[in-house]
């Protein structure tokens, strides 16, 4: 038996739409063990084999390599990342499935080949890159491969996930985006995305506040988050930086204060939200053998 630990991820970070991702210290843990037949343990009953992303990703590796699928029992050992909240829950399932299959195939695929397959299954590389490699990543797809860059955000920064008691589907968040953009909005966002990694590396909050500003997706998604704009303005007034995590509805707050969560608790609109203080996960996905 072996287990795979995968961190959550916050994609986009404002101006880094569909490109940047940040791995966070919130985890899903999956167990794999050879068995006589396929079995799922610990998953919601709604996620049977045909609807289970871990199993589907696991099976995809064997199909891609034209290998017989090895039967396994897949267990959900730890499930701390909420579903449909913009924290990369589906990416953790895909990563676990691909790494689990590759391990049983004696690591037939390289790390880069694994990532290519993960991004293919997910449809975009931002979440899987961050959760797979850890740290702050940016990624883009070419015809044959995914190219990833990794940075290490400053230790001076603290991060807070504001998780609401409601979900927002990725498809609905995508539908809210316009089909055509003004050139000025594109250049505004690109200019800031180019400095995004450096801003997080330096840890200067005023620099980060400017670098995350976006006109590509956030203005169209905030109306889908109940009280989202009000919360954003109040957090900014307290000195924090706010971005929508992935496609939402979770909002990620960046601060240079270790006790900023105390200020966040004073925001009335967050009374029913879950506020989690998190660190950057620098290690990424980890596979460990169980003795």
- Condensed to tens digits (0 to 9), the pLDDT of residues 135-166 reads 999 999 887 889 999 999 999 999 999 999 99
Tell me: do 204 and 269 sit in the same domain. yes
According to the model, what pLDDT value does residue 47 have? 72
Global confidence as pTM? 0.95
- Angle among Cα 244, 120, 111 to the nearest 5 degrees reads 95
Summarised one tens digit per residue, pLDDT across range 5-15 is: 999 999 999 99
Tell me: do 11 and 146 sit in the same domain. yes
The number of distinct structural domains making up the chain is 2
According to the model, what pLDDT value does residue 6 have? 98
Q: What b/e sequence results for 104-140 when a residue is b if at least 16 CB atoms lie within 10 Å of its CB, and e otherwise?
A: beeeebeeebbbbbbbbbbebbbbbbbbbbbbbbbbe
According to the model, what pLDDT value does residue 48 have? 76
Tell me: do 185 and 101 sit in the same domain. no
According to the model, what pLDDT value does residue 95 have? 98
**Residue 143 corresponds to which tokens in the numbers above?**
């015809």
Tell me: do 13 and 128 sit in the same domain. yes
First to last CA, the chain: 8
Secondary structure class of 224 (helix, strand, coil): helix
According to the model, what pLDDT value does residue 169 have? 87
Tell me: do 77 and 204 sit in the same domain. no
Q: What b/e sequence results for 231-261 when a residue is b if at least 16 CB atoms lie within 10 Å of its CB, and e otherwise?
A: bbebbeeeebbbbbbbbbbbbbbbbbbeebb
Secondary structure class of 243 (helix, strand, coil): strand
According to the model, what pLDDT value does residue 172 have? 92
**Residue 19 corresponds to which tokens in the numbers above?**
């490109």
Would you put residue 106 in left (φ > 0), alpha (ψ -120 to 50) or beta?
Answer: left
CA 119, 24, 101, 94 torsion-angle sign: negative
Reference 208, options 16, 76, 70, 4; nearest CA is 16
According to the model, what pLDDT value does residue 50 have? 82
**Residue 123 corresponds to which tokens in the numbers above?**
């449809």
Tell me: do 137 and 163 sit in the same domain. no
According to the model, what pLDDT value does residue 290 have? 82
Tell me: do 9 and 37 sit in the same domain. yes
At 103, which CATH number?
Answer: 3.30.230.10
Burial class of residue 187 (count of CB atoms within 10 Å of its CB; 0-12, 13-18, 19+):
exposed
Tell me: do 9 and 133 sit in the same domain. yes
Tell me: do 51 and 139 sit in the same domain. yes
DSSP state of 235: H
Contact between 183 and 9 (Cβ < 8 Å):
no
At 194, which CATH number?
Answer: 3.30.70.890
Rg (CA), the chain: 19
Q: Domain limits at 80?
A: 2-151+281-289
According to the model, what pLDDT value does residue 41 have? 94
**Residue 286 corresponds to which tokens in the numbers above?**
């980890």
**Residue 114 corresponds to which tokens in the numbers above?**
């694994």
Please report, in tens digits, the pLDDT of each residue of the chain (291 residues total).
Answer: 999 999 999 999 999 999 999 999 999 999 999 999 999 999 987 777 888 999 999 999 999 999 999 999 999 999 999 999 999 999 999 999 999 999 999 999 999 999 999 999 998 999 999 999 999 999 998 878 899 999 999 999 999 999 999 999 888 999 999 999 999 999 999 999 999 999 999 999 999 999 999 999 999 999 999 999 999 999 999 999 999 999 999 999 999 999 999 999 999 999 999 999 999 999 999 999 987
Distance between CA atoms of residues 270 and 160, nearest Å: 12
Tell me: do 55 and 147 sit in the same domain. yes
According to the model, what pLDDT value does residue 198 have? 98
Distance between CA atoms of residues 149 and 165, nearest Å: 34
Peptide bond into 249 cis (omega under 30): yes
Reference 139, options 154, 150, 123; nearest CA is 150
Tell me: do 129 and 241 sit in the same domain. no
According to the model, what pLDDT value does residue 170 have? 86
Tell me: do 85 and 191 sit in the same domain. no
């Amino acid at each position: 038996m072996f287990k795979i630990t995968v961190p959550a991820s916050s994609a986009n970070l404002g101006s880094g739409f569909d490109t940047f991702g940040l791995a966070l210290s919130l985890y899903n843990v999956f167990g794999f063990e050879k068995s006589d037949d396929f079995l799922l343990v610990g998953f919601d009953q709604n996620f049977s084999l045909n609807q289970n992303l871990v199993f589907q990703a696991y099976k995809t590796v064997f199909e891609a390599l034209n290998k017989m699928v090895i039967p396994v029992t897949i267990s959900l050992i730890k499930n701390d990342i909420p579903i449909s909240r913009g924290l990369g829950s589906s990416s953790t399932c895909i990563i676990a499935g691909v790494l689990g299959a590759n391990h049983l195939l004696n690591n037939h695929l390289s790390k880069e080949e694994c990532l290519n397959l993960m991004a293919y299954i997910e449809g975009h590389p931002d979440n899987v890159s961050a959760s797979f490699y850890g740290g702050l990543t940016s990624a883009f797809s070419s015809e044959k491969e995914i190219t990833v860059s990794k940075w290490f955000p400053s230790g001076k920064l603290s991060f807070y996930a504001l998780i609401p008691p409601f979900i927002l589907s990725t498809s609905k968040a995508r539908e809210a985006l316009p089909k055509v953009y003004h050139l000025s909005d594109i250049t505004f966002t690109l200019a800031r995305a180019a400095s995004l990694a450096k801003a997080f590396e330096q840890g200067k909050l005023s620099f980060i506040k400017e670098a995350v500003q976006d006109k590509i997706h956030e203005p169209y998604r905030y109306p889908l988050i109940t009280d989202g704009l009000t919360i954003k303005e109040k957090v900014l007034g307290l000195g924090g930086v706010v971005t929508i995590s992935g496609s939402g509805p979770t909002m990620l707050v960046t601060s240079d204060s270790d006790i900023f969560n105390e200020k966040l608790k004073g925001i009335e609109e967050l009374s029913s939200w879950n506020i989690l203080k998190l660190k950057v996960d620098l290690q990424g996905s980890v596979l460990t053998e169980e003795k």
